[in-house]
Amino acid sequence: KALNQAFEEFKQGAKGNEVLEPLKYYGINTMNERGMTLSVFFKTKPDPRGLIMRDFYHYLKIAFDKANINQASERVALVTNEN
């Protein structure tokens, strides 16, 4: 739901007119202790500097924050067996 919401809001934004085909969700690519990687696709006009994707990531971050979906972060825990 958050992914679709982000895409819909992105299409209404400044770079939305660059979208040529709708978002397609292909599922989870990988899942491990650090998080998961989703496979999604949408077609846009040529964007050699990556500004369209950067804009989409901005909307995705906002949607994930609203849905309380946390991004993976690097954490190091030291566990000892001291008594």
Could you tell me the pTM of the whole model? 0.75
- Structure confidence at residue 33 (pLDDT): 78
Q: What is the pLDDT of residue 48?
A: 86
Predicted confidence at residue 83, as pLDDT, reads 58
* pLDDT per 10-residue tile (average), the chain, 83 residues: 94 94 93 86 92 93 91 68 66
Q: Alpha carbon of 22 to those of 27, 35, 42, 81, 83: distances in Å?
A: 16, 25, 6, 53, 58
